[in-house]
Amino acid sequence: MTMTDPLQVIDANGSANGYDPGLSEEELLHCYRTMLRVRAFDAICLKLQRAGRIGFSIPNRGIEATQVGAASAIEKTDWLFPSYRDFGMALYHGITPLEMMHNMFGNALDTAKGRQMPVHFSFLEPIKFYSISSPIGTHIPQAVGAAFAMKKRGEKTVALVSFGDGGTSSLGFHSGMNFAGVWKAPVVFLCQNNQWAISCPSEEQTASESYAAKAVAYGMPGVVVDGNDLLAVRKAVLEAVERARSGGGPTLVEAKTFRMGGHSTADDPTKYIPKEVLDEWEGKDPIPRFEKFLAASGLWTAETGEAMYKEAEEEASAAGREAEQVDKPGLETIFSDVYAEVPEHVRKQGQFTFDLARRKGEAAAGDGEFPL
């Protein structure tokens, strides 16, 4: 196998060819259900955005196996430094669609209190899901720093950082890889190569034979995996996690996949991706592929699959309706989320802000008194 041959586990007939992923039947079904929940959440968010009820979303259709396979390889005590196309990582580890919807609407229950774009989730429980950042690649050196701190403290935890193929052209990618290699930091770099950085194809992004090949220059292993094969992604990431946890240092995993939708709801992929390419990847959809594996294992039928998707769709739809009814963040959170004790000069600014809001009628400022 060369650096460009992707690791595969599930073949065209759904057979894992003797590979044991180390997952129970319940855990395998959890992987499947999570992919369905990603797709349903995605579809509901697109409808909400097109209806003008939320401002923005990031399609995940086609990337589900990469997200869920990688998430299944880490523990809840580990740290996730996700990209904005990682709905499945949050859902796999117990974040609910409702919690995610609060961020989509930017309401008072949003962990960012409406001060992040939609899809920029951040959670501390039940998993450490680091705040998503819009600037490409900035979270990569942050993940390395966190991993190095884990190592210095003698912890057996790992940081998994996820980014797209376009992220490999960022300064953060190269500086992060360099420091991780030098420090042997317990971090796993997951490049979700969906082949398009918005409208820039991979062949215009890099001259390397693969993104995984870039690992060699930084003194770490690089592996290419079929990103539409959930078990292959799990196998590659699990091996990388075990290596990091045992003190062996970082690994770069390139998951070759394809986003079967726009870069965001503001993008139309049909303007730059040929129809025959979209049709080809439609036939490589990771969900039917995993269904074949489950069916071969006696765990899936078309009827159960339809029922599970309907359940996921109803869950996402109900989450959207509930989150939409939650009030906007209180005006005082601009100040209370920053200071434990508000200093006098900020208190004066707060009073001015509340008085202005009362006069303009643009916020629920009560009688105009600054409450902090």
Q: List Cβ neighbours of 240 (8 Å cut-off, separation of 6 or more).
A: 73, 188, 221, 223, 250, 251, 253
Q: Of 39, 93, 139, 263, which is the active-site residue?
A: 263
Q: What is the DSSP string of 111-180?
A: TTTT-S-TT---B-SSSEEPPP-SSTTTHHHHHHHHHHHHHHTT----EEEEEEGGGGGSHHHHHHHHHH
Half-sphere exposure of 317 (CA within 13 A, CB side): 7
Q: Of 50, 115, 272, 339, which is the active-site residue?
A: 272
Rounded to 5 degrees, what are φ and ψ at 251?
-140, 145
For residue 256, what are the β-bridge partners? 193, 226
Q: Of 245, 259, 289, 309, which is the active-site residue?
A: 259
Three-state DSSP class for residue 214: helix
Active site residue 30: no
With CA atoms as reference, report the closest residue to 39 among 290, 213, 245, 372: 290
Residue type, 11: D
Active site residue 263: yes
Active site residue 309: no
Residues known to be catalytic: 259, 263, 272
